[in-house]
Structure 1
Amino acid sequence: MLLHSSKYAVKALVYLVANASEEHKLLVKEIAEATDIPKAFLSKLFQQLAAKNYISSTKGRHGGFYLTEAQLKNSVLDIIIEMEGKDRLQECILNLDNCDAENPCAIHELIVDEKTALRERFKNITLAHLKE
């Protein structure tokens, strides 16, 4: 249901939240090795997240990636939407363009409650929650 970019981003952020701080920044190489995510792919994901201020980075000798207190307030749903380019959790699971509440596909009504609940859970999980 989710793209690899979303899964990898969340997986890497779980590691970043647990292991990095403004005083102890992590390099992409470290995160990639620890999470078994291809380094080049993770580098692109982190560039995208940093450009949208979902994570912070500094260059130089003590550079690397970390999260600020404000960034820890972002939800997992925010990250998923950024990675996916849209809110795929509101789309038809069969990828039908004309499926919605007024024109449901064959399984729409069977899963709409679960999809809605999953979306709400992702919305209510902040990056700070990933530390717990």
Structure 2
Amino acid sequence: MSVFSKTCEYAMRAVFFIAYKTSEDKKVGIKEIAQGINSPEHFLAKILQDLSRKGIVLSAKGPNGGFYMDSITLKQPLSNIVEAIDGDKIFVGCGLGLNYCSESNPCPIHHEFKKIRNDIIKMLKNTTIEDFNEDLILGNSTLKK
């Protein structure tokens, strides 16, 4: 089970991979990213185009081109990636996916889900892309399934 859409999962893993490679002071291409996170290359290309347009990752064309991050993009909260791909439904949506769920008209799991959702929001808004990079560099975490 995942909190995020499959597209958002790939986006987050790709951003983490790019951040990791950027720490080695290099730009990284679609093929390498796709292999590094076990992602379909064509699908990933569309995701990264979108993330690049929205300023989550940077890109350069040409023989030495590819995707990369700088000190500004590395300091973005994870919530930027989630909102760029999935919108804000995780921040405001019902745990059962109901349209009518609210404080005054709650679904059966509303109050418990709200606590969990608030913790997820806090983590996404208070954690930067850069915060996860050290564990990747040290080999303490992985991006492959």
- The TM-score range, normalised by the shorter chain, is over 0.9
1:20-35 to structure 2, matched below 5 A, reads 20=22, 23-35=25-37
**1:83 maps to 2:71:** no
RMSD: 1.4
TM-score by length of 1: 0.93
Contact 2:90 2:117 in 1 (8 A): no
Aligned-partner Cα distance in 2 for 1:122–1:52: 18
Q: Secondary structure at the match of 1:14?
A: helix
SS in 2 for 1:57: strand
Deviation at 1:46, TM superposition (A): 0.5
Aligned residues: 132
How far apart are the structure 1 equivalents of 2:133 and 2:65? 22
Q: Which residue does 1:18 correspond to in 2?
A: 20
Indicate conservation of the 8 Å contact 1:75/1:125, yes or no: yes
Show structure 1 runs of 4+ deviating over 4 A: none
Query: Does the CA-based 8 Å contact 1:32-1:38 persist in structure 2?
Result: yes
Q: Deviations over 1:87-119 (max 9, x none)?
A: 323200111001112211111012211111111
Q: Which runs of 5+ in 1 are unaligned?
A: none
Deviations 1:35-75 (A, max 9, x none): 10110111001000000111100010100000111111111
Q: Does 1:130 align with 2:120?
A: no
Q: Secondary structure at the match of 2:71?
A: coil
